[in-house]
Amino acid sequence: MDQDQLGNHREELRRGTVVLACLLALREPGYGYGLLKTLDAAGIACDGNTVYPLLRRLEDRGLLESEWNTEESRPRKFYRTTSAGSELAALLLADVVDLTRSLHSLDGGTNR
Amino acid sequence: MTSWTERYLEVALQAIRDDKRSDVERELRSSITDAIDERVAAGEDAAAAERAVLEALGDPAELAAGYTGRPNYLIGPELFPLYRATVPRIVAASVPIAALVLGALTSLGGGNLADVIGGVISGTINVIFQIAFWGTLAFVVLERADAARAVRDDVVSRIAPWSVERLPKPSPRRVSARQAVGGISGALVAAGGLLFLQSLNMPGPNGAWGLFDGPFGSQWFWFVEIVLVARAALHIVTFAAGRWTMPLATANAILVLCFALPIAAFALSGQLIDFYFADAIGWHGLPDGTGLPMLAVAGGTTLVAALEIALGFARLRPDARLGSILQVSRHSA
């Protein structure tokens, strides 16, 4: 299997799920770098250059809200999923589950 | 904090709006520092850690594009169909016109034929680049400039959704036998007519003078004759092929220019008709390039040539019309 090709297809496949992953993860408040670590630990590898601007855009659309935490030694901007964001995340998650089920059925149920 | 991060932030923040810049800077700075700290805590050298973190974050210009939402392309998918339907067509339509106008103008200047042809070629290339450049620039400005946003949205709203009307016609029109015979006989009649004109003689001061005994007759008459015969051959080839193709239409355009340019240039420089011949028939002003007859010859030749070239390309493929891409009527308020 051509590694470049595999990488490209994986990237394509994951691109649409980054938004969902962020909305789900940020139901617990989190900041930029911490979120990257959380996603990485969950097996969803993302780049900062994708996630940092994305957080701003999701905030602009009212799916996330943010607050600066200046109590610790380093000030950090914490994001939290809004109720609109949670609603959207639930719908998208249901879609992903359906999609996975459909793909399995196309696979003929051979996938264990 | 060393200079790599500062320089990175400077580039990344340049494009961010003033009211958001300091907030984005504060957040990016803390994200970068978090990542560096973790690498250093794992035992990495501070400078190496900083470098690795910034390189993982990637080109700051791309990061900035993520924040601003400004496109990293020149012309986006919404405007591109309109761009492709207009600019190349305007360029294609302007080539024969530019070539003929430039040919007429440079020959009016009285240069020799090599100058005229050189001027036409370089001038036409210049026109192609100018139109392509300014046309593309207009679309780029429309795509990106904040001030043009309202215009852009209006243009995009007029671009109709794709419909089956935009499909090209099922099969390119076949060349009918009548069209082929018309084309072939047209070229041969022109060649024969020129031969007849060349055979005209008038007794002059030193023997008989032919109509084309001037510079045109000695240098270019047979070239023009060969070009006309080649055009007849082209019509035969086109009939055999069954339809006009891009190479055939291009060959047609080149042959038409090879015919029209010498005649127009010689007419305007006063060298088409031999002036001894004109004296002999008693029409002294006939060869004069600024006189009405020669202007008419040059103008008529130019007009016919422009039509012939346009016709060759028009028969190529009746493509989707601009009207089906732009929904002008729906917004005719």
Whole-structure pTM value: 0.58
For the ranges A107-111, B45-49, B186-190, B322-326, the lowest mean pLDDT is seen at: B322-326
User: Which residue in A33, A35, A72 has the most chain B C-beta atoms within 10 A of its own C-beta, making it the best mutation to test that interface?
Assistant: A33
CB contact under 8 A, B35 and A33: yes
Contact state of B30 with A75 under an 8 Å Cβ cutoff: yes
Residue of A nearest to B31 (CA): A33
* CB pair distance less than 8 Å for B26 and A52: no
Q: Is the pLDDT of residue B128 over 60?
A: yes
Please name the residues between 15 and 44 in chain B that touch chain A, using a CB distance below 8 Å: 23-24, 26-28, 30-31, 33-35
Nearest CA in chain B to A68: B27
Most confident of B21-35, B165-179, B261-275: B21-35
Query: Do the bridges between strand A76-81 and strand B201-204 make them parallel or antiparallel, or are there none, so unpaired?
Result: unpaired
Q: From CA A60, how far away is CA B269, in angstroms rounded? A: 70
Bridge partners (DSSP) of residue A67 are: A78
Q: Do A48 and B31 touch (CB under 8 A)?
A: yes
Give the B window 120-159 contacts with A, CB below 8 Å.
none
How far apart, in whole angstroms, are the C-alpha atoms of residue B106 and residue B110? 7
- Does residue B225 have a pLDDT over 60? yes
Compute the distance between CA of residue B281 and CA of residue B272 in angstroms, rounded to an integer: 16
CA distance linking residue A14 with residue A5, whole number of Å:
14
Task: Tell me the chain A residues in contact with residue B26 when contact means C-beta distances shorter than 8 Å.
Answer: 68, 75, 77
pLDDT at A112 over 60: no
Per residue in B227-244, pLDDT (tens digit) is 999 999 999 998 888 888
Tell me the per-residue pLDDT of B27-66, one tens digit each, with 9 for 90 and over: 999 999 999 999 999 999 989 999 999 999 988 888 888 8
Segment B302-322 shows an average pLDDT of: 74
Q: Where are the alpha helices (DSSP H) in chain B?
A: 3-14, 18-41, 46-57, 60-68, 80-108, 113-144, 149-158, 177-199, 215, 221-241, 246-268, 275-281, 292-314, 322-325
- Averaged pLDDT score across all residues of chain A: 90
Distance from CA of B49 to the nearest CA of A (A): 15
Within 64-93 of B, beta carbons closer than 8 Å to A belong to 66-67, 69
pLDDT score recorded for residue A98: 95
Which of chain B's residues have a Cβ under 8 Å away from the Cβ of A50?
A: 66
CB pairs under 8 A between A and B: 50
With 0-12 / 13-18 / 19 or more C-beta atoms within 10 angstroms meaning exposed / middle / buried, residue B42 is exposed
Q: Which of B41-45, B86-90, B270-274 has the lowest mean pLDDT?
A: B270-274
Q: Which of the four pLDDT bands, split at 50, 70 and 90, describes residue B126?
A: very high
The predicted-structure confidence for A9-23, as pLDDT tens digits, reads as follows 888 888 889 999 999
How close A30 comes to chain B (CA, Å)?
Answer: 12
Query: Two tokens at B209?
Result: 């003078």
Q: Is the pLDDT of residue B245 over 50?
A: yes
- Of residues A47, A49, A77, nearest to B27 (C-beta): A77
CB contacts of B67 in chain A (<8 Å) are 52-53, 56
Of A33, A50, A68, the CB nearest to B31: A33
Least confident of A60-69, B103-112, B245-254, B266-275: B103-112
| Chain A contact set for B41 (CB, 8 A) | none
Average pLDDT over residues A100-112: 80
Q: In this model, does residue B172 exceed pLDDT 60?
A: no
Check CB contact under 8 Å for A47 and B58. Answer: yes
DSSP secondary structure letter of residue A30: E
Instruction: Find the closest chain B residue to A75 by CA distance.
Output: B30
Region A62-79: what's the mean pLDDT? Answer: 90
At B333, the pLDDT band (50, 70, 90 cuts) reads very low
Q: Which residues of B touch A57 (CB under 8 A)?
A: 69
Query: Residue B323 and residue B160: Cα distance in Å, rounded?
Result: 9
**So what's the pLDDT on residue B104?**
78
Of B196-210, B248-262, B301-315, the least confident: B196-210
Highest mean pLDDT among A66-75, B115-124, B197-206: A66-75
CB distance A47–B67 less than 8 Å? Answer: no
Residue B206's pLDDT is 65
* Burial classification of residue B262, based on how many CB atoms lie within 10 Å of its CB (0-12 exposed, 13-18 middle, 19 or more buried): buried
Q: What is the pLDDT of residue B331?
A: 44
Contacts of A21 (CB under 8 A, 6+ apart): A39, A42, A44, A46
Using CB atoms within 10 Å of the CB of residue B288, give its burial: 0 to 12 exposed, 13 to 18 middle, 19+ buried.
middle
Q: Which residues contact A96 (CB under 8 A, 6 or more apart)?
A: A17, A20
Q: What percent of chain B has pLDDT over 70?
A: 89
Would the CB atoms of A53 and B66 count as touching at under 8 Å?
A: yes
ipTM of the complex: 0.85
Taking the C-alpha atoms of residue A104 and residue B222, their distance in angstroms, rounded to an integer, is 77
pLDDT at B332: 41
With 70 as the cut, is the pLDDT of residue B205 above it?
Answer: no
